[in-house]
Each structure stands twice: as structure tokens, then as C-alpha cells.
Chains A and B, each alone.
Chain A
Amino acid sequence: MLNVQQKREFVDGSKAALPLIVGAIPFAILFGTLAPTSGLSALATIMMSVLVFAGSAQFIVLALIAAQAPIEMILLTTFVVNLRHLLYATALVEHVKHLPLHWRAILAFGLTDESFANMSQRYMQQDKSNAHYFYLGSICCFYCTWVSFTILGVTLGSLIPDMSNWGLEFAMSVTFIGMVVPYMNSKAMISAIIAAGISSLTFAHLPNKLGLIISALIGVAVGLTVTKFKNKQLSYE
């Protein structure tokens, strides 16, 4: 059983997740509502939240399913989009490497943008002996919310008929716009975004949604080049 301190860490972790959860609830509902109109069954929609548990990847996959992309392309895109979690794991590994493997596996499963935000704050404090319970609390709270509100969204979607005629696919575009704009805070990032946008139009007619991956890679390459160039200029000064 948990001792007092472990319990407190668990509760504190759940509380720390609350503000992020409030922000995520509309997306869980939106995901549950949109998924069936993109062509995914209700069961698969719920299972995706239960097993994959990766918000932005889940939305991107919906867009690809709606565009009838082949499964290989969908999996490749999942890989590329979720690669950023490697960064999070690299930042956190120092604090979890002493834990037994099953603990590390559970914490890895729940490593999302939100739990990373919670944990990078928690690990700044002095006493870290039971911080993994804080991590677990944050994950549990977030996971239960994500899954239950996905189910709510699926239910709402099935109650309201003809939702596919409402132009809900635009809800996805506008969600992505809201996610991209906050990134536009440096020359490198803006160049990457513009390059990806132009390339996506240029390669729009390639088969199998191949244009998506190519445009993303071009965007990343442009972003890296601009960063390198800026660093060089700085070192000359």
C-alpha cells in the first residue's frame, strides 16, 4: 500500500494536471465527435484514446483517414508526429532511471505534452524521492479524463445525425491553426512553417498523401538551415 507521503504526491500530481485537463476536455469531446465522421468506427475511436493516448497524433490520423491515406502512410505520420516525445523522455530519464522497469513502462505510456509539462515543474523541486507518484497521479487523472470524454464525444456524435454535413472537417483545420500559431515565435520556426505550407501545395497531388511527409521534411530542413545560419552570424559578431 501507499504510505502517507506517496499518497500526497499522487494527489498533488492529479491536482497539477487539472488546469491542463480543463484545456484538453473540449479536444477529447471533439475527437470523439469527429472520428466517426472521418470514417473510423466508434469502437476504434475509443480504443485509440485508450491505447495510443496521444492527442495531436490522434487528430492528424483522423485527417489522413478522411483523405483515405493508406495505412503505411498513417503509421509513418504517427511515428514522425510522436518523435517529439523522444525529447521529453531524454529530459526526464535522469529522474526515472532508478525505478524498476514496470514503473518506467507505465510512466513512458503516459508521457504526453501535458504530463511532461507537469513533471518538468515537479522535478525542479528539491525532494524527488517520491516524485514518481506525482507523475503517476498526473497521468492517471489525465488519462481517465481523455478516455471518458472521448466516449462522451462518440455518444454525442451518434445522437446527432448528419453531423458529417456540418463542415466539421473544418473544425480540425481550425484546431490545427490554433496549435501552430503559438510556435511562430522565431525566424527559423516561421520559415519552417512557410516552407512546409508552400511545399504542401506543390506536392498535394502526389499519391498516398506522400506530399505530407515530404513537405514536413522540407519544413524541418528549412528550419534547421535558418537556425544554423543565425548561429553563424552570431558567432561572427
Chain B
Amino acid sequence: MNEAVLIIGMTVITFTIRFVMFAFAGKMTFPNWLALALKFVPPAVLTAIIVPSVVMPQGYTDLSIDNSYLIAAIFAVTVAIYSKSLLKTIGLGMMLFLILRYLAM
């Protein structure tokens, strides 16, 4: 992986998205359906990353109770729903994960 190309590419892409509306100073609009669609993008992308990484941590589907990734992830979802706190979700989720890993050793 060429890191310079990666960083420059990400910089150009991110800045262009942020700048294009400001550059044209309001002479450009985009359709409503696109505005609506954009709201679904971050949760959809994040979910599509999370689910395989916890359901198939070893590269194959593992729905067993020995899958510490899956158990800790389900626990983290519960914590997130009830605590509504990002830091508690990360802290408690990570704690359970490390405990399960330790017990499995």
C-alpha cells in the first residue's frame, strides 16, 4: 500500500466534498432524495463493517457462545441502547471482551 497516495487521495476527496458547495456559493443544489439518502449512509456503512467483523472474526460464520467478539458486541449494543453513552459503550464492551478472551485462554 502506497501511504502517500492513500493520504493524498483521502485529502483531495474529503476536501472536495466539503468545499464544492461553498465554492459555488449557493449556485448549486441537489435533489431531495439524495439529501435523504445521505442520512442513511453512515449507519449503513458502519453496520456493514461491524457485522462481519464480529460474526465471522475468523473468516467463517461463528454463532457459538465461544465467539467472544459476538457476545461482547451484543452486550455493547445493549449498553448503547440503555446508557446512550458512547464512552460507556466502548468501555464496558471492551471490558467484557477482554474478560472473555482471558477466560478462553
Contact = CB atoms under 8 A, between A and B. Distances in A.
Interface string A174-201: 1111111111100011001101110111
Contacts of A87: 35, 38-39
A127 interface: no
Interface in B1-34: 1-3, 5-11, 13-15, 17-23, 25-26, 29-30, 33
Main secondary structure, interface of B, reads helix
Contacts of B26: 93-94, 97
A31 to B, nearest CB: 13
A47 B7 contact: yes
A119 interface: no
A152 B57 CA distance: 29
A12 interface: no
Contact of B40 (A26, A108, A192): A192
Interface residues of B, number: 66
Contacts of B8: 51
Interface string A56-91: 110011010100000100110111111111111110
A23 B33 CA distance: 32
Contacts of A94: 26
Contact of A80 (B10, B41, B80, B87): B41
B45 A61 contact: no
Nearest to A217: B44
Nearest to B15: A109
Given A105-B22, A177-B77, A197-B51, A86 B38 contact: yes
B40 A189 contact: yes
A97 B48 contact: no
Contacts of B35: 87, 90
28 contacts: A40-B3, A44-B7, A74-B10, A78-B9, A80-B45, A89-B17, A90-B21, A93-B25, A109-B15, A166-B98, A169-B53, A171-B90, A176-B46, A178-B85, A181-B77, A181-B80, A184-B43, A196-B43, A196-B44, A197-B47, A197-B50, A201-B51, A201-B55, A204-B52, A204-B56, A216-B41, A216-B48, A218-B44
Interface of A: 23, 26, 39-41, 43-44, 47-48, 51-54, 56-57, 60-61, 63, 65, 71, 74-75, 77-90, 92-94, 96-97, 101, 104-105, 107-109, 111, 166-167, 169-184, 188-189, 192-193, 195-197, 199-201, 204, 211-212, 215-220, 223-224, 227
Given A48-B10, A178-B85, 13 more contacts: A26-B90, A54-B10, A60-B45, A65-B1, A89-B18, A167-B101, A180-B46, A181-B80, A181-B89, A200-B49, A223-B37, A224-B37, A227-B36
Interface of B: 1-3, 5-11, 13-15, 17-23, 25-26, 29-30, 33, 35-56, 61, 69, 72-73, 76-77, 80-81, 84-87, 89-90, 93-94, 97-98, 101
